[in-house]
Amino acid sequence: MKNDFYRNLADAAQTETPGWLATVVTSTGSTPARMGMKMIVGGEGIVSGTIGGGALEKAVLDKIRLECPSTPVKWAFDLGAGSGAEYATSMVCGGVEEILVEPLAAGTPLVIFGGGHCGVALSRLASWTGFAVTVYDDREEWAAREKHPSALRTMCAPYDMIRQHITVGAETYGVIMTHGHQHDADVLRQVIGWPWRYLGMIGSAKKVAAVFDALNNEGVKKEVLLRVFSPVGFPIGSHTPEEIAVSIVAQMVAVRTGALKVAELSPQT
């Protein structure tokens, strides 16, 4: 029933569990769906609705589960038309469909590199304050959903493969807090040139200076390094993981609301 679908949509938008709305926005040729068909996807699969069933629906569902988009995206699927659309399926209908996928109750995208004790505290507090959190760690036990129940997604992969798993946009926030200084440096080396809205790295002033000097010697310009907020967070004398999370979230919120401009948030080195 149509009323049931929109009731389910309202419920999905209000829950803390990640969810997405998939809508057929164009349908050309022979396809199993028509423009305007909708499907609600939750963490466990399809909640309500359909976009045509079959291989197309599975392809969209699998892609949502893999990418967990935190901003609206549009995907084009070739259903055997030979159109050269971005994504091909095993279907032979002969048409092309474009699917708009919108996150429900999405927040500001935040990638936390390092899911340890500080990462656990940060993923929890950041989620509570409107960030859509991705936790990336090379240790399976610290990239686990059980450790980060409020995160949009968790990912376990080597730190030297970040480029294969993470993409950012102009509104993406990032915090580097891995389980070792060398890992922090390796992550920063890979992502420092990306178009972050905010990028911070945990560490003492001495450690930060050493990492910055090494990257500068490798050719990273000082003005680029100066856009990394490190030691990350406001200087509130924090020591515990929870206190550190408070200092970082306060700084990120200040950037998000415009209370502080990025240029005003210089590293404390």
Rounded mean pLDDT, 87-113:
77
Q: Are residues 197 and 117 in the same domain?
A: yes
- CA distances to 148, 226, 233, 242 from 229, in Å: 24, 7, 7, 19
Give me the CATH number covering residue 213. Answer: 3.40.50.720
Residue 268: pLDDT band by 50, 70, 90 thresholds? very low
Distance CA 139, CA 148 (A): 13
pLDDT tens for each residue of 212-255: 999 999 999 988 898 899 999 999 999 999 999 999 999 999 99
Range of the domain at 78: 2-104
Residue 106: pLDDT over 90 = no
Distance CA 64, CA 71 (A): 12
Q: Are residues 126 and 221 in the same domain?
A: yes
Residue 269 in domain: no
Residue 263: pLDDT over 80 = no
What percentage of the chain has pLDDT greater than the value 90? 45
Q: Are residues 116 and 224 in the same domain?
A: yes
Rounded mean pLDDT, 108-122:
95
